[in-house]
């Protein structure tokens, strides 16, 4: 079946509400959930941001640029979002930084979120054991090296993605992972959107496929869709390509019980035409980006729908 972006999203909400199973969850809120769903979005149709409720585009941009910077500092996200590190200015990551999510992670400084998304994208830590002929005990979670010499280096996954798109566009390894099993205990929150792969077609259209293990369909997914669409647009701009499709493969896809009424409200609304993403000509390098480089032309939307974020 062929759907426009927002119609497909609204159908997804309806499908979960009608066919999902009620389940307990880590937060204690309870969800209605389904498994192994997906959405495929034609990025040429318009920029995929919801119009049946307002989504804060500037905040979406700020978080993505925060990832691209490789930062794990929540106050840096506040600076990108609000222009200040003032503790009174909150971000969507503030509950994690304030230790209210039940995580066992111990921050090193105020606002430290540990080795979360962007840190893994730009600085995946690799330990190489030297002069050592017995690798027993070096699996996930192992820290003992039995006196062997070890050397730590870092891999910039995002820089490698850009390089491969430019020099080896048919490579089947143009991907990034945020899910680092050996460092989950060093993160304030394990990644939900955890794996992404890019494909540059022969007619130079860049497509993106992302896997998301846990999908808050009402609050989280409306943020993740424009975020990964923007990432695809940025990479396409940097390498001189057009955009193709964004596909999101979803694991546990759920609506929290305290979002049911909000979902009904959203489903009663009619979508507006999608806006167009406008990117400044200044965007030529992933390491030189500003929130002001990105605007939406023609974003007409219904009012925001407030809902509690379970954590």
What does 213-231 look like in DSSP terms, one character per residue?
Answer: EEEETTTTHHHHHHHHHHH
pLDDT confidence tier of residue 1, bands split at 50, 70 and 90: very low
Cβ neighbour number for residue 100 with a 10 Å cutoff: 10
Provide the token pair at 193: 């959107």
CA–chain centroid gap for 82, Å, is 20
pLDDT confidence tier of residue 113, bands split at 50, 70 and 90: very high
Question: What's residue 127's pLDDT?
Answer: 67
DSSP per residue, 224-291: HHHHHHHHHHHHHHHHT-EEEEEEEEEEEEEEEGGGHHHHHHHHTSPP----EEEE-TT---TTS--G
**Poorest-confidence range of 3-12, 254-263, 282-291, 294-303?**
3-12
Question: What's residue 215's pLDDT?
Answer: 98
Contacts of 233 (CB under 8 A, 6+ apart): 43, 243, 277, 279
When the candidates are 3.30.565.10, 3.40.50.2020, 3.30.572.10, 1.10.10.10, the CATH number that belongs to 5-297 is: 3.30.572.10
Contact 208, 246 (CB under 8 A): yes
d(CA 187, CA 239): 32
Cβ neighbour number for residue 28 with a 10 Å cutoff: 8
Rg over alpha carbons for the chain, rounded to the nearest Å, is: 20
Average pLDDT on 93-112 reads 81
Contact 147, 129 (CB under 8 A): no
**What's the pTM?**
0.92
pLDDT digits (tens, 9 = 90+) for 18-52: 999 999 999 999 999 999 999 999 999 999 999 99
Average pLDDT on 182-198 reads 96
d(CA 280, CA 293): 5
**Poorest-confidence range of 30-34, 101-105, 141-145, 182-186?**
141-145
Which of the two residues, 62 and 133, has the higher pLDDT score? 62
When the pLDDT of each residue in the chain is averaged and rounded to a whole number, the result is 92
Q: Would the pLDDT of 102 be above 70? A: no
Active site residue 301: no
Question: What's residue 2's pLDDT?
Answer: 39
Q: Would the pLDDT of 139 be above 60? A: no
Contact 188, 103 (CB under 8 A): yes
Question: What's residue 96's pLDDT?
Answer: 87
State how far the alpha carbon of 174 is from the alpha carbons of 56, 77, 95, 171, in Å: 30, 27, 33, 6
Question: What's residue 104's pLDDT?
Answer: 72
pLDDT digits (tens, 9 = 90+) for 148-173: 555 678 999 999 999 999 999 999 99
Q: Would the pLDDT of 142 be above 50? A: no
Widest distance between CA atoms in the chain = 65
> Which one from 192, 208, 249, 301 is the annotated catalytic residue?
192
pLDDT digits (tens, 9 = 90+) for 226-273: 999 999 999 999 999 999 999 999 999 999 999 999 999 999 999 999
Contact 267, 25 (CB under 8 A): no
d(CA 72, CA 116): 6
């Amino acid at each position: 079946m062929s759907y426009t972006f927002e119609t497909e999203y609204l159908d997804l909400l309806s499908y979960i509400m009608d066919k999902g199973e009620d389940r307990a969850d880590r937060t204690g809120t309870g969800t209605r959930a389904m498994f192994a769903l997906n959405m495929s979005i034609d990025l040429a149709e318009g920029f995929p941001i919801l119009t049946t409720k307002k989504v804060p585009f500037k905040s979406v941009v700020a978080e993505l640029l925060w990832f691209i910077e490789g930062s794990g500092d929540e106050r840096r996200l506040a600076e990108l979002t609000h222009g200040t590190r003032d503790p009174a200015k909150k971000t969507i990551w503030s509950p994690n930084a304030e230790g209210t999510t039940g995580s066992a992670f111990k921050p090193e400084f105020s606002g430290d979120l540990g080795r979360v998304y962007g840190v893994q994208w730009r600085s995946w830590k690799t330990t190489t054991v030297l002069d050592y002929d017995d690798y027993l005990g070096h699996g996930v979670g192992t820290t003992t090296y039995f006196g062997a010499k070890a050397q730590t280096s870092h891999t910039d996954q995002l820089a490698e993605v850009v390089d491969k798109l430019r020099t080896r566009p048919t490579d089947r390894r143009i991907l990034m992972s945020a899910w680092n099993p050996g460092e989950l205990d060093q993160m304030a929150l394990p990644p939900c959107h955890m794996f992404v792969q890019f494909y540059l077609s022969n007619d130079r259209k860049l497509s993106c496929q992302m896997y998301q293990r846990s999908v808050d369909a009402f609050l989280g997914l409306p943020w993740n869709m424009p975020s990964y669409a923007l990432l695809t647009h940025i990479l396409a701009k940097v390498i001189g390509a057009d955009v193709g499709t964004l596909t999101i493969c979803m694991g546990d896809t759920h609506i929290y019980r305290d979002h049911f009424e909000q979902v009904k409200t959203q489903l009663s609304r009619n979508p507006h035409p999608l806006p167009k993403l406008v990117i400044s000509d200044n965007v030529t390098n992933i390491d030189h980006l500003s929130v002001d480089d990105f605007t939406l032309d023609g974003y007409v939307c219904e009012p925001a729908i407030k809902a509690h974020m379970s954590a």
